[in-house]
Amino acid sequence: MTCKLIVKDHQTKQSANLADYAAACRSFTWQQARDELAGLPGGGLNIAHEAVDRHVGAGHGDQVALRWIAKSGARKEFSYAELSRRSNRFANVLRARGIRRGDTVFSLLGRVPELYIAALGTFKAGAVFCPLFSAFGPEPIRARMEIGAARALVTSARLYKRRFENHAAPPEVFLVDGNEAGATNLPSLMEAAADTFDIAKTTSEDAALLHFTSGTTGRPKGVLHAHGAVAAHHSTGRLALDLRPGDTYWCTADPGWVTGMSYGIIAPLTNRVTMIVDEAEFDGERWYDTLSREAVNVWYTAPTAVRMLMKAGLDAARQHDFPALRFMASVGEPLNPEAVIWSNNAFGMPFHDNWWQTETGAIMIANFAAMDVKPGSMGKPVPGIEAAIADTAADPVRVLTEPGAVGEIALRPGWPSMMRGYLHEETRYKECFRDGWYLSGDLATRDADGYFWFVGRSKDLIKSAGHLIGPFEVESALLEHPAVAEAGVIGLPDDTMGEVVTAYVALKPGHAPTDDLRLELTGHARKRVGPAIAPREIIFRENLPKTRSGKIMRRLLRARALGLPEGDLSTLESDGT
């Protein structure tokens, strides 16, 4: 794919934070990024200080930091000064209850203000914050708290009662509402606590965040990040998301997912924007109304949400005006080309895809505001990031320089948000690094212009009749058909071909899963990607198994097709069966 889509908002393009990509790459250093931060008085670095307290000290305490929209539509605003005071109170609560530096504080909450206050207060106390999805069941919660040695939990009375009825809770449980046996009412503790606090003298290497990712085994991986990651969050928020002080910004991700923490809390606050937080789940009309009414300038969401908006059609978007909207970005899984083209028609500007992982902590490759967008491409490396396409089967790792070569995305270590380890799994952590590279496990190509193109996870690559086939390319071709809402492509064993390309397809409303449609989709795919790559079998499903961050779980499709163990299902949102 080499097509270009020129951004129509030329004013945004010319005034973007990263107006000259080549010049920025030549001059950028991570030390420069660190120097843009204030640091703790007397030395040290703390995420919460950079996110709120330094802005208050600079005279911006009255600016709205967080505008919360309840499910009911009611709104509540928190200024930077108010966030500072409330997070101070929470830090004092932790200290009074014996939580110390290095202890782990978990949250099990929806998108409510108490979650954001708890995160900032935990950072101030020098403890480690670990957000969990509120939809997790008791077993995933128990496993993560056991691995993370949970010292405290912040949750609601309803979730506490449902999730811990037959399971042991951490030593300290704080309820944001109500009372339950074995737990403490947080509002009463907050009311009694002082609203001043001396932030713990953390350093850039002190642990701050713990995120869990699921894998093919039943044991989730605990990914540790340090306070020093804030330099990358702040810098990439400005360069990759074009955030500017005073912007109104909406990241739709839940903080239980790494995007909801890195770019739903830290990056926006350090860049002094006003964050929109919506408690409700996806609703297309509500989202359009929020973008318009709240005058959102920068919007960051997931490809699954974009495809759901696409299903409602262009007319639904065109019934609203978005005069304040300047930049839109997407992350979570590759953004299919048709979604980029659709968004340009719907909003007058394209979504800008970017790539990163829980392990990298921050955006590594992006389509920047000043760049032309090539639909389907993840963009170019962020300044300060050395990225390559690597042959990891070679010893030592060999960098592939020819355009179009398929290899693993490899990054030179040294950026501030690089994970500091997998909790209790040092060997597994060391296996991510070889010959001076961090090996991502994601396959991609790079074109002659330096744009990276996602191919698939190395474990998802399909080997069929001598061809190496990335599922993303086949899925994108199927999604171009007007009947297809979702597509997941895997390879299934075949005695003759090695693997047969098999597609699982969910249809848009108004389309029936008939044999005629199956033939039509097969023919469509053959025209788009060729007979050697097109699926040999198409299986219709009402929906596909996805994680809560919107990623289609190809490994689960394959496991169910072959009767294999399904592995960790704790992040599964829709079952797809």
Rounded CA separation 328/241 (Å): 8
Q: 379: which 2 tokens?
A: 């963009």
Q: What is the DSSP letter of 552?
A: B
Q: Cβ neighbours of residue 103 under 8 Å, at least 6 residues apart?
A: 127, 128, 151, 152
pLDDT at 218: 52
pLDDT at 333: 76
Judge whether residue 466 has pLDDT over 60.
no
Assess contact for 571 and 214: CB atoms under 8 A.
yes
Longest dimension (CA), the chain: 72
pLDDT at 8: 46
Least confidently predicted of 24-28, 107-111, 184-188, 485-489? 485-489
| E strand segments, 419-483 | 421-422, 433-434, 437-446, 452-457, 462-464, 467-469
pLDDT at 14: 61
pLDDT at 1: 41
Beta-strand pair 172-175/184-185? parallel
Judge whether residue 366 has pLDDT over 50.
yes
Selection from 237, 282, 230, 3 nearest residue 119 by Cα: 230
In the chain, which segments carry CATH 3.40.50.12780?
Answer: 10-446
246-259 confidence digits (pLDDT tens): 999 999 999 988 99
Q: What is the mean pLDDT of the chain?
A: 91
**DSSP per-residue string spanning 16-27:** -TTS-HHHHHHH
Q: What is the mean pLDDT of residues 16-23?
A: 92
Least confidently predicted of 3-17, 97-111, 309-323, 353-367? 3-17
Selection from 571, 570, 544, 548 nearest residue 558 by Cα: 544
Least confidently predicted of 113-117, 127-131, 405-409, 533-537? 533-537
Selection from 144, 217, 222, 219 nearest residue 459 by Cα: 217
In the chain, which segments carry CATH 3.30.300.30?
Answer: 461-574
pTM for the model stands at 0.83
End-to-end CA distance of the chain: 33
pLDDT at 477: 84
CA distances from residue 442 to 162, 436, 453 in whole angstroms, order as listed: 37, 17, 11
419: pLDDT confidence band, cut at 50, 70 and 90? very high
Tell me the backbone φ, ψ of residue 569, rounded to 5 degrees. Answer: -110, 15
CA distances from residue 11 to 20, 326, 327, 369 in whole angstroms, order as listed: 14, 9, 11, 10
Judge whether residue 564 has pLDDT over 50.
yes
| Percent of the chain predicted with pLDDT > 90 | 72
Selection from 101, 361, 81 nearest residue 230 by Cα: 361
Residue 398 belongs to what H/E stretch? strand 398-399
Class in CATH terms, 10-446: alpha beta
Q: Which residue has the tokens 């009255």?
A: 62
Least confidently predicted of 189-193, 395-399, 464-468? 464-468
Rounded CA separation 505/518 (Å): 10
Judge whether residue 576 has pLDDT over 80.
no
Rounded CA separation 64/55 (Å): 11
Enumerate the β-bridge partners of residue 328: 299, 351
CATH code assigned to 461-574: 3.30.300.30
